């Protein structure tokens, strides 16, 4: 009896243990099945994350070229320096070595080298010379990736036009920003295997997607004309101790901008050291009251409207009263009999008011709108300013007495260049632009519309008046030997920024013109802000026009005017101007 009981109990224990083992086996099988089937994707992803690192492959930014293919902005080879902190044996010594080669504070590098991370940036866009010096040190835990950095080989040349890029090669200003979608390209990616210490395994690439490099673009800018324009503009600022200056050089036939410059300037290779004022492309971003340069537009409107011809004679009193305001000339004179052409040639304020009165407010506004003075030019550049021409219902009683000669309205130098192009090219308003093409992209096309402003006949008659303004009027210092120059001087008071009216003693001197007058191919607008020692456009701005224009026609091999003597003409310093 005792033996049977003992065997029975032993059998029960055996079954219990076996049952327990079977139960545990079932649990293990279920758990393994859960982990291998249900949790497998999550574990695989976690394992892959631990084993691999995704690195971005930066594309090479496209180059910016001038119209002859000369480089203005390029991307050159560089390196991104990174660290794997776990592999750095001596953070302090390594930080000191990095500082000695790359610059920067030792403490900043040490802090990054002591992070609990498998990857930290040490330096980006490192030039190849410093990268080679760093590599020669053989620092443990320090690695490099291929990169590129933006370089502007001509320094300050066209700097306000080109703009600059940020650390991520994103265009931040100028053409770099406007055409970033073409220049930037698309980043590639590589999924690389790494060891437990975070080191990328050679040959352990899991997946690679090559970057798409950016497109090169060709601008309308002529590098040589740009250089001379900047040089002469800087000389004028230095000579007259001016606050600032700008110049626009354009082909009036098609709106291609050959040069555009502002003083002061900056070097885009060191843009972080520049101030906002030096980075402004003033010909596009700054507005001003143009003064007497607008008299050419007023005359063109009167001629196109059929109200008067160039030889119609006007009796001009010494002054004229409009809306309770007495308007006089810049310099006193008696009553005279002047033709419409002579009104412009002598830059008469009184005569221009009479021309404006002949048009009336509505028609004068309409013509100025046709000349593009109520809209942006649409130039392919960020931040274009819009000038101001008040609607007729906002005119005061004296508006018809100052708008015809360039007060009470504002515009950018580029707006004026566009408007004068209609006089130069036979009546059409072009679309100013900087891009000439994208050499490697057949699918990219640019269309630059034009619209008629005045008739061809009115444009031709106004051109002749503007030629006389240079040969016999206030623009004598703009004469270019061998060429008929059409132009107009301007000396405009600066509007106050702290209230109504004009700043005492502050002027903008300007000259705008084009040549050869019988086949205009070069149009130039020069503005000089607050010159000292002289204020008249014929003295301050016209010589800049002359020097730049003379170089441009020679450089572009534009034939002299057929009716002009090509011998050297002695330039004449004009006397006081009626502006």
- Please give the positions annotated as active site: 292
Overall size of the chain counted in residues: 579
Encoding tokens for residue 365?
A: 């506004």
User: How far is it, in rounded angstroms, from Cα 467 to Cα 486?
Assistant: 4
Quote the strand ranges of 138-264, DSSP E: 142-151, 164-165, 171-173, 188-194, 200-209, 217-219, 244-250, 257-263
Torsion, CA 411, CA 414, CA 417, CA 422, rounded to 10: -80
Q: Which residue has the tokens 């101030």?
A: 275
The dihedral sign for the CA sequence 548, 550, 553, 555? negative
Q: Of 262, 278, 282, 281, which Cα lies nearest the Cα of 270?
A: 278
Return phi, psi of residue 229, to 5°.
-60, -45
Q: What is the DSSP string of 392-460?
A: GGG--TTGGGTGGGT-S-BB-HHHHHHHHHHHHTTSEE---B-EEE-TT-TT-------EE-S-HHHHH
Return phi, psi of residue 296, to 5°.
-65, -40
Q: Of 304, 451, 424, which Cα lies nearest the Cα of 364?
A: 304
The half-sphere exposure of 552 on its side-chain side, counting CA atoms within 13 A, is: 30
Is 484 in contact with 548 (CB distance < 8 Å)?
no
Is 578 in contact with 331 (CB distance < 8 Å)?
yes
């Amino acid at each position: 009896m005792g033996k049977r009981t003992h065997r029975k109990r032993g059998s029960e224990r055996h079954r219990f243990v076996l049952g327990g083992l079977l139960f545990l086996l079932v649990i293990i099988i279920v758990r393994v099945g859960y982990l291998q089937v249900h949790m497998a994707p999550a574990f695989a992803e976690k394992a892959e994350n631990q084993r691999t690192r995704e690195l971005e492959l930066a594309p090479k930014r496209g180059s910016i070229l001038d119209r002859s293919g000369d480089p203005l902005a390029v991307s050159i080879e560089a390196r991104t320096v990174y660290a794997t902190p776990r592999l750095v044996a001596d953070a302090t010594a390594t930080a000191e070595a990095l500082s000695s080669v790359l610059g920067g504070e030792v403490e900043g590098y040490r802090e990054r080298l002591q992070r609990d991370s498998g990857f930290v940036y040490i330096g980006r866009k490192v030039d190849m010379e410093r990268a080679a010096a760093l590599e020669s040190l053989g620092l443990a835990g320090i690695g490099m990736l291929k990169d590129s950095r933006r370089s502007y080989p001509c320094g300050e040349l066209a700097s306000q036009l080109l703009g600059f890029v940020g650390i991520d090669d994103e265009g931040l200003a100028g053409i770099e920003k406007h055409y970033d979608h073409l220049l930037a390209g698309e980043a590639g990616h590589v999924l690389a295997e790494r060891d437990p210490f975070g080191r990328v395994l050679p040959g352990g690439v899991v997946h690679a997607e090559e970057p798409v490099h950016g497109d090169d673009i060709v601008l309308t800018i002529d590098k040589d004309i740009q250089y001379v324009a900047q040089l002469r503009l800087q000389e004028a600022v230095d000579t007259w101790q001016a606050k600032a200056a700008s110049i626009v050089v354009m082909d009036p036939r098609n709106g291609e901008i050959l040069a555009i410059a502002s003083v002061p300037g900056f070097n885009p290779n060191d843009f972080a050291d520049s101030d906002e004022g030096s980075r402004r492309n003033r010909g596009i971003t700054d507005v001003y009251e143009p003064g007497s340069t607008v008299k050419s537009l007023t005359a063109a409107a009167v001629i196109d409207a059929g109200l008067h011809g160039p030889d119609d004679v006007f009796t001009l009193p010494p002054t004229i009263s409009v809306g309770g305001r007495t308007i006089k000339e810049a310099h006193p004179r008696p009553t005279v009999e002047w033709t419409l052409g002579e009104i412009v040639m002598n830059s008469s304020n009184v005569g221009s008011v009479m021309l404006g009165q002949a048009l009336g407010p509505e028609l004068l506004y309409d013509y100025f709108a046709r000349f593009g003075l109520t809209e942006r030019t649409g130039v392919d550049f960020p931040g274009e300013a819009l000038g101001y021409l008040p609607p007729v219902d906002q005119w005061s009683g004296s508006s018809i007495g100052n708008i015809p000669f360039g007060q009470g309205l504002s515009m950018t130098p580029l707006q004026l260049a566009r408007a004068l192009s209609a006089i130069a090219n036979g009546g059409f308003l072009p679309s100013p632009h900087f891009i000439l093409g994208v050499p490697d992209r057949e699918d990219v096309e640019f269309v630059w519309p034009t619209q008629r402003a005045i008739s061809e006949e009115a444009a031709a008659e106004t051109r002749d008046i503007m030629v006389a303004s240079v040969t016999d009027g206030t623009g004598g210092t703009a004469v270019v030997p061998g060429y008929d120059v059409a132009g107009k001087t301007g000396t405009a008071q600066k509007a106050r920024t702290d209230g109504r009216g004009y700043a005492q003693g502050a002027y903008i001197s300007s000259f705008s013109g084009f040549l050869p007058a019988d086949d205009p191919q070069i149009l130039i607008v020069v503005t000089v802000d607050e010159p000292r020692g002289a204020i008249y456009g014929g003295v301050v701005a016209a010589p800049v026009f002359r020097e730049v224009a003379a170089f441009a026609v020679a450089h572009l091999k534009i034939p002299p005017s057929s009716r002009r003597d090509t011998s050297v003409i002695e330039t004449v310093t004009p006397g006081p101007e009626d502006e």
